Amino acid sequence: MRNRRMLIFLGLFAFTLSLSQGAAAQLASRPAEEWSKTLEAHDRVANLKMDEIVAKLGLKPGGSVADIGAGSGLFEVPLAKAVSPSGKVYAVDIDAGFFPQIKRKADEAHVTNVQTVLGKYTDPNLPAKNIDLVFFHDVLHHIEDRAAYLKSVSGYLTPSGRVVVIDYEPGMGPHKGHPDLEVSREQLATWMKNAGLKPSEDVKMFPDRYFLVYSK
C-alpha cells in the first residue's frame, strides 16, 4: 500500500514537471487558431512593411531561407517569390496547427517552393544544411533558450549565410513590462557572438523594432 502511494506520488510529480517544462519552452504561447487572429489583424499587417523587409533581405533566385516561427505564414509567399521557384522556403514552427494556413496561402498564390517544418524547442530541425538566410520576425522573444537556439541555427548556414532578427526594442512592444519576453540588442549580440555570428547590418526601418543582420 505504502509502495503504491509512493508510485502514484512519483508519477504525479513527473507529470507536473513535464507539463511545466513543456510550457516554459515556448513563452507566451497560444493555440494557433486564436493566435492567428492577432497575427493577421488589419492594424498589425498594415504596419509590418512586409514587402520592404523582404526587399531589404536581398534574397537571390535559387536561394534557401528558413522562416523561424512562421506562424500564420504572412511572409511565406513574398519570401517564396523572392527566391523564385528554383529556391526554397522552410516555414518552421513549433506548432503544426499553423501549417494548414501556410499551405493554403502558398496554394492560393500558386507557389510550390514552401515546405513546412516542425521545429524543436532549441533546434529548427531543418532538413538541409545549406541555408542562405534564417529569418526571425517577431519570434525570438517567444523562444525560451535563445542562446541554444541561435547556436543550432548557425550549424544550418552556408559559409556566407546570414541571420536576420526583427524584434521589439525593450519597452516598446506588446510585452512591455515583462522583461522575460523581451530581447535587447545587447543580449542578442552576446548570443550571436557565442554562436559564431558577427554583426553585419543595422537596418533602420521601424521606430519600435530593430532589424539586425548577422553573418558567419
Ligand X SMILES: C[S@@+](CC[C@H](N)C(=O)[O-])C[C@H]1O[C@@H](n2cnc3c(N)ncnc32)[C@H](O)[C@@H]1O
Q: What are phi and psi of 123, to 5 degrees?
A: -155, 130
Least Cβ distance, residue 79 to ligand X (angstroms): 11
121 versus 199: smaller Cβ distance to ligand X: 121
- Alpha carbon 22 to its chain's center: 18
Question: Which of 63, 78, 87, 119 touches ligand X (CB under 6 A)?
Answer: 119
Half-sphere exposure of 114 (CA within 13 A, CB side): 29
Pair 8, 1: CB distance under 8 Å: no
Stretch binding ligand X (CB under 6 A), from 51-59, 102-110, 136-144, 156-164: 136-144
Pair 200, 214: CB distance under 8 Å: yes
74 versus 163: smaller Cβ distance to ligand X: 74
> What binding mask, one character per residue, do residues 21-60 give for ligand X by CB under 6 A, x or -?
-----x------------x---------------------
88 versus 137: smaller Cβ distance to ligand X: 137
Scanning the structure block, which residue is given the C-alpha cell 523581451? 182
**Cβ burial 54-69 (10 Å sphere, 16+ → b, else e):** beebebeeebbbbbbb
Residue 187 engages ligand X in binding (rule: CB under 6 A): no
Stretch binding ligand X (CB under 6 A), from 67-75, 101-109, 184-192, 196-204: 67-75
186, three cell numbers: 545587447
Scanning the structure block, which residue is given the C-alpha cell 522562416? 67
Which of the residues 68 through 97 are near ligand X (CB under 6 A)?
Answer: 68-71, 74, 92-95
Q: Which residues bind ligand X (CB under 6 A)?
A: 26, 39, 68-71, 74, 92-95, 98, 119, 121, 137-139, 142-143
